[in-house]
Amino acid sequence: MRRLLLALPFALLPLAMAHAADDHDHEHGSLGAHEHGVGSLNVALDGQTLELALDGPSVNLVGFEHIATTDADKAKVASARAQLENPLVLFSLPKAAGCIADQQELESPLFEAAPEEAGGGAKAAHHHSDIEAHYAFTCSKPEALKTLDLTQFFKTFPGTQKIKVQLIGANGQQGVEVTPKAPTLTF
């Protein structure tokens, strides 16, 4: 599933370097910095295959980064996971494109570790954890895939204020930022 997405960092390196220069004064001043409220989304369209790879701090999606120990925190993690398991709701694709979600993979320490395995409360409380989601779609009419609307994503996860997108599609490559006020990506 990650065949296309593995090529993205190399293909978009010039865009990433330019963006890094703009972000030089932000947290840690480096690519891939863990920045609350900000996520990244890699999008690759190759023939009928559309792949999405989302990555961001878990605080953006559940409101915290520590291992869930309370019932309330466990419920937030379960809810976020359930939402992420519905990519066609979170990422609105044109119906005319006929996209079907074929594969998905969700990864996060919050999804896997039980409190007893977290290595102690103090360590877990200060750990920066991310949530990663990888999706593959087959689109019967990829030529109709003109936009990707993240309005529902921002409504579902209001802790996310900005998503840095790297895209490779039929019209080449681009790097853009989407926000709740400008949530649509154009292919």
The number of domains in the chain is 1
- Predicted confidence (pLDDT) per residue in 37-88, tens digit: 999 999 999 999 999 999 999 999 999 989 899 999 999 999 999 999 999 9
What per-residue confidence (pLDDT) applies to 33? 55
> Per the domain annotation, does 27 fall within a domain?
no
**Residues of the chain falling short of pLDDT 70:** 1-34, 113-127
What per-residue confidence (pLDDT) applies to 25? 36
pTM attached to this predicted model: 0.77
> Per the domain annotation, does 169 fall within a domain?
yes
What per-residue confidence (pLDDT) applies to 17? 37
Contact by Cβ (8 Å): 142, 98:
no
Q: Which structural domain, as residue segments, surrounds residue 78?
A: 3-21+36-186
What per-residue confidence (pLDDT) applies to 65? 87
What per-residue confidence (pLDDT) applies to 34? 62
> Per the domain annotation, does 31 fall within a domain?
no
What is the rounded CA–CA span in Å between residue 178 and residue 187? 13
> Per the domain annotation, does 26 fall within a domain?
no
What per-residue confidence (pLDDT) applies to 49? 97
